[in-house]
Structure 1
Amino acid sequence: MASKAVYSAIAFVGIAALSGVAWWYQSKPQGPKEIVGGNAQAASGSAAASAPPRIAGVEVGKVARITLQDDAQSVGSLRSRQSVMVRPEVAGRVKTLGFKDGAQVRKGQLLVQLDDTLQRAELSQAQAQLSIAEANFKRNQELVAQNFVAQRVLDESAANVQVVQVQLALAQARLGRMAIVAPFDGTVGLRAVNVGDYVKDGADLINLEDTGSMLLDFRLPERYQRKLRPGLVVELALDAFPGRAYKARIEAVDPLLDANGRSVGIRAVLPNNGGDQAGVGAGAPLRPGMFARVTAIFGVNDAALVVPEESLVPQGGKQFVVLVVPPSEVPSAANLPANTEWVSKRQEVKLGVRRQGKVEVTEGVSEGQTIVVAGQQRLQRDGTPVRIVELGRGPAAAASAPASAPVARSSGG
């Protein structure tokens, strides 16, 4: 136990001694540093002052002229020109079916006949009552002419004839409701009933679709509403028929905007001729419910000036591009060395349509001008010397002339 205390005291003294030596070594005054050739800091400053300014390396592209399509994309669904679910107005038992599943039917063709025995009996009763009422009226006319009865009796007979006529019309209407006919020409679907089934009023019997032409329903954001109008052409592609193109014309624009999505409903119409309108080849007829990818075309500019989207520099609510020009075009570059080949120049632009990484420029630049597409952050003022760099090529090869980035022709989409 005593030896442990001794060892602990020795360890404590040793640590304290080492700490003191370390403190003394760090706090002792340092000797003078050797300076060769005068003040080193001044020498480095003069060297930096005599060194040539560093030239910013940038990537460039060209203002190109392409065919640009102003359009908007959406998705929609095909619908029948007319579509109805046939339902009975009264309850009854199915007596006859006048169609086959998936068959073509004509307007007025009998689809479903319900058991009408009771209604026919009511009609016969009403017809008999009408015959009696008319005979009484005729007899009373003769009696009034001979002054055997009062005029009041004749008036009551005439009123009774009218009442029985209404009862006859009511019986005919009830009988007519037992026969369900096609309201228009079309194609029936798959029946949900069979002969002998008892159906209630409003039960689904068969769907009828008029697919001679198709409706296309889709929606677009509200910002496009000023460009939408009846007669405007829209293109659509169907997942069911890949590689085929179809065209439709806008028939109506919903005046009410959707308050949830702030979008406007649009309905277009296209023929259903069972083939490809673009001439790609014959195809199956279009069917209601198909999914469609829609492109609404607002206009086509065959000579639109475009720049890469990454070349834009927003500032103060405006849009700029940085041009690469000779020093002679920038007054602030007059004091640059004579061997300076290219300098920067900011130019405000007005923008139009954006498509696939390209932006239409309506004002500010002309075709063929060289613009900076990468490295604009290094060019804080006009007249800054630039060194043109191309990916995959050395700076020396690229610095001889501004590079022209290829701009693919695009039809929008």
Structure 2
Amino acid sequence: MAFKKMHSIVAVVGIVGASTLAWWLQSPKTDANTTAGPRPSGVEISQVKKITLRDDAEAVGSLRSSQNIMLRPEVAGRVLALGFADGARVRAGQVLVQMDDTLQRAEVQQSLAQMSIARANHKRNQELVAQNFIAQRSLDESAAALQVAEAQLGLSCARLDRMRLIAPFNGVVGIRSVNVGDYVKDGTDLINLENIASLYVDYRLPERYQTKVTPGQTIEVKLDPFPGRMFKAKVEAVDPLIDANGRSIGVRAVLANTAGEPVVSAANKGAVSAPAAPASAATSTKVTIPAPAQSPSRGSIQPSPQSLGCPPNLFDRTRTTAGGDQNGPLRPGMFARVTAVFAVKPNALVVPEEAIVPQGGKQFVIKAVDPAELPALAASAAASAPALPPDTKLVSQRVEVKLGLRRGGQVEIVEGLKEGDTVVVAGQQRLQKDGSALRVVELGRGAASPASAAASGSAVGASASIAAGAASDASSAASR
């Protein structure tokens, strides 16, 4: 038993000795020929550069018509005629749906007859009062009767006018859901009318952008049906109400119904030399809408109420939209990818995000500078600090900076650096004070030299063999 215990102790001592030897072999050695001083820290560096930086935000939205309505009859009746073709362009004031107005026209004729009688009676009473044959009261009564007849005529004409559904603005009609002869109730959907000369882009942004969004700003719109095309719109209005559910604000921009502009990437910007691309794209994507056509099966539009003697309508229900092409390729309801551009900074100083070192609520970067640029380092070296290695070319300097925008892994530096400065992007945790010696390590390569790597590999192999031998001795002793 004592013999087995002795072998176990010998095995443990062997393992400890092997580990100590491996640690001694891997520990850095001080060259007697070199000057004493701190060992340079391996770091990765980058240059401060100027780029064009955009302050923008991305969102999704939908296209909507600048004007759109659903035509519905105000009274029940039978469809007498249709004044449009499906998908046709119509103009303001054009009669789209004519309801059966036989009864309403008869009422207008009756009102006209009653007004004619009332006007004749009033004229006769005026002559008799002038000759003192009747009292003034009879004249007043005839004047009131004439006013009642005129009001009755106006009411009859208004009922007749409601039997005609007219286009209130220029636009394109949709696909009808009724035919001539159908009986429809009041409020039934008959046909939609869309003004697509220009469209609205409705989207939402987080509430933190509310101070940046202002009317007149330009936004960039991309649509899935038109890959490689860019559309530009202008912000028209910002909703003053913030959505309490998503904490977002609603924004509406105006977009012209055009073919857009080709998107040219930075890689092939020089290779693109065909300015005719927009024209060809516009030709290929332009939609031809047939002109309105009349068909015998659609019935005939009745004459206007004014042709029967009705007074002109005091309330104009039409609003002509000046200009605009109703044949553009864009359509309401399209899914839009919006990029809201708030500002463009052509000469913004940027560094990689990895160079920022937050500390105590402040932001710092570590510059790699020449030792001669640090007077404090020279003074401390002359006093009591150990000298730097003789081949030291760069030392560390911690600098406080003020940050701006963050885009694509780059951070804008508003204050603290200038173009061409060198900053540390990796290895900052080993630089605890200014003046630390730096050794630049290239990206993708290790900091150790081939000789040190070979020594490390041999030390690891030696320690592994010693440990394996000690373990075998312990196992053989335990078996005995």
1:356 to 385, 402, 408: 408
SS at match of 2:156: helix
Q: Residues of 2 paired with 1:197 and 1:87: CA distance? A: 14
Please state how far the C-alpha of 1:54 moved relative to its aligned partner. Answer: 4.8
Note closer, same or farther for the CA distance 1:48–1:308 as it changes in structure 2 (3 Å cut).
Answer: closer
SS at match of 1:234: strand
SS at match of 2:400: strand
The match for 1:240 is 225
Please state how far the C-alpha of 1:181 moved relative to its aligned partner. Answer: 0.6
Structure 2 spans left out of the alignment, 5+ residues:
7-12, 14-19, 32-36, 263-276, 287-328, 450-480
The match for 1:314 is 358
The match for 1:15 is none
Q: Residues of 2 paired with 1:277 and 1:185: CA distance? A: 27
For residues 223-372 of structure 1, the aligned pairs below 5 Å read 223-273=208-258, 275-278=259-262, 279-280=277-278, 281-282=281-282, 283-284=285-286, 285-330=329-374, 331-332=376-377, 334=381, 335=385, 336-339=387-390, 340-372=392-424
8 Å Cα contact 2:371/2:395 also seen in 1: yes
Q: Residues of 2 paired with 1:310 and 1:246: CA distance? A: 35
Counterpart code for 2:403: L
Please state how far the C-alpha of 1:141 moved relative to its aligned partner. Answer: 1.9
The match for 1:208 is 193
Q: Residues of 1 paired with 2:443 and 2:261: CA distance? A: 44
1:72 to 57, 65, 79: 57
- Could you tell which deviates more after superposition, 145-154 or 113-122? 145-154
Task: Give yes or no for the alignment of 1:188 onto 2:173.
Answer: yes
Question: When the two structures are superposed, what TM-score results if normalisation uses the length of structure 2?
Answer: 0.69
Q: Residues of 2 paired with 1:231 and 1:337: CA distance? A: 59
1:128 to 113, 137, 147: 113
Cα root mean square deviation, aligned: 2.8
8 Å Cα contact 2:89/2:171 also seen in 1: yes
Please state how far the C-alpha of 1:62 moved relative to its aligned partner. Answer: 1.2
Q: Residues of 1 paired with 2:244 and 2:224: CA distance? A: 30
Q: Residues of 2 paired with 1:125 and 1:378: CA distance? A: 102
C-alpha deviations, 1:134-161, integer Å up to 9, x for none?
1221222223223332211211111111
How many residues align structurally?
A: 361
Q: Residues of 2 paired with 1:277 and 1:127: CA distance? A: 61
The match for 1:378 is 430
Structure 1 spans left out of the alignment, 5+ residues:
1-17, 27-32, 34-39, 398-413
Task: Give yes or no for the alignment of 1:160 onto 2:145.
Answer: yes
The match for 2:206 is 221
8 Å Cα contact 2:114/2:149 also seen in 1: yes
Q: Residues of 2 paired with 1:227 and 1:199: CA distance? A: 50
Please state how far the C-alpha of 1:232 moved relative to its aligned partner. Answer: 1.8
8 Å Cα contact 2:369/2:396 also seen in 1: yes
Counterpart code for 2:442: E
Question: When the two structures are superposed, what TM-score results if normalisation uses the length of structure 1?
Answer: 0.80
Counterpart code for 1:276: G
SS at match of 2:118: helix
Higher strand proportion: 1
Task: Give yes or no for the alignment of 1:88 onto 2:73.
Answer: yes
Please state how far the C-alpha of 1:48 moved relative to its aligned partner. Answer: 9.1
The match for 2:306 is none
Query: Identity of counterpart residues, as a percentage?
Result: 62
C-alpha deviations, 1:257-307, integer Å up to 9, x for none?
33333322222222213x234454323311111111111222222221100
Q: Residues of 1 paired with 2:388 and 2:167: CA distance? A: 89
1:109 to 94, 97, 107: 94
SS at match of 2:204: strand
8 Å Cα contact 2:232/2:260 also seen in 1: no
SS at match of 1:245: strand
Q: Residues of 2 paired with 1:157 and 1:277: CA distance? A: 71
Q: Residues of 2 paired with 1:363 and 1:211: CA distance? A: 48
SS at match of 1:69: strand
Q: Residues of 1 paired with 2:176 and 2:437: CA distance? A: 79
Please state how far the C-alpha of 1:182 moved relative to its aligned partner. Answer: 0.6
8 Å Cα contact 2:66/2:198 also seen in 1: yes
8 Å Cα contact 2:38/2:389 also seen in 1: no
Q: Quick one: higher RCO (CA 8 Å, sep 6+), 1 or 2?
A: 2
SS at match of 1:377: helix
8 Å Cα contact 2:44/2:441 also seen in 1: yes
Counterpart code for 2:110: Q
SS at match of 1:135: helix
Counterpart code for 1:146: Q
